[in-house]
């Protein structure tokens, strides 16, 4: 029999309120809490307890305080990736953030795609769609990145954008929904 966690990892529909999944979240919530409460001078770039739960986080990657995360094991950070204050990463699916990418304050990255059928949605059925953010990307504060989106290398996402579709490398996007305004030359 396939567990709800296995279904989540496979991108299949699963119930997000499952004892095994709850236990993982609680362990991550505790580590995130310690990260957020630690003095910055003692925390370093990422609190060691939180770093140990992440899929990948090189020493040069940095996560500021008031951060929120669900599973940890699905978050993969590149060298010198930077998440500013108040970021939320709902990593039910894989979230990759490339090298030297700067994520502004209060950015929200979502992987959970809730079921369209209201009965199944009411039973907390969802699926996890990955989010990929390339290298050298700049995402302005208050942006929301929706499930299944890829943002290409070198792209710039204007503050407050809602990214509903893939962003090509080097593009500049703004608005809700985010739309391309110029391409990098």
Read off the pLDDT of residues 90-122 as tens digits, 9 standing for 90 and up. Answer: 999 999 999 999 999 999 999 999 999 999 999
DSSP state of 99: T
pLDDT tens per residue, range 36-76: 999 999 999 999 999 999 999 999 999 999 999 999 999 99
Name the residue with tokens 């108040």.
Answer: 86
Q: What are phi and psi of 146, to 5 degrees?
A: -85, 165
Residue carrying the six token digits 């894989």: 94
Active-site residue set: 114
Tokens 């990736």: give the residue.
Answer: 81
Residue whose C-alpha is closest to residue 68's, from 89, 47, 95: 89
C-alpha pair distances (Å), 45 with each of 38, 76, 107, 142: 11, 15, 18, 22
Radius of gyration of the chain, Cα coordinates, nearest whole angstrom: 16
Domains observed in the chain: 4-183 (2.160.10.10)
Give residue-wise pLDDT tens across range 127-136: 999 999 999 9
Bridge-partner residues for 62, per DSSP?
Answer: 82
pTM of this structure = 0.95
Share of the chain above pLDDT 70, in %: 97
Length of the chain, please?
A: 185
Query: Dihedral of CA 27/28/32/38: which sign?
Result: positive
Q: How far is the C-alpha of 121 from the C-alpha of 64, rounded, in Å?
A: 33
Which of these, 77, 92, 93, lies nearest to 130 by C-alpha position?
A: 93
pLDDT value, residue 123: 94
């Amino acid at each position: 029999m396939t567990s709800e966690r296995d279904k989540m990892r496979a991108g299949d529909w699963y119930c997000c309120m499952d004892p095994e999944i709850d236990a993982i979240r609680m362990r991550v919530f505790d580590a995130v809490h310690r990260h957020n409460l630690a003095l910055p001078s003692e925390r370093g770039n990422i609190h060691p307890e939180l770093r140990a739960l992440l899929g990948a986080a090189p020493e040069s990657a940095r996560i500021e305080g008031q951060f929120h995360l669900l599973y940890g094991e699905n978050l993969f950070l590149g060298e010198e990736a930077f998440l500013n204050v108040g970021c939320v990463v709902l990593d039910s699916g894989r979230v990759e953030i490339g090298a030297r990418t700067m994520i502004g304050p209060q950015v929200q990255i979502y992987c959970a795609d809730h079921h369209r059928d209201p009965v199944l949605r009411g039973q907390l059925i969802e699926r996890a769609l990955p989010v990929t953010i390339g290298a050298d990307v700049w995402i302005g504060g208050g942006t929301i990145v929706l499930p299944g989106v890829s943002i290409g290398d070198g792209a710039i996402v204007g503050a407050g954008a809602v990214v509903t579709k893939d962003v090509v490398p080097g593009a500049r996007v703004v608005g809700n929904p985010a739309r391309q305004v110029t391409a990098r030359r």
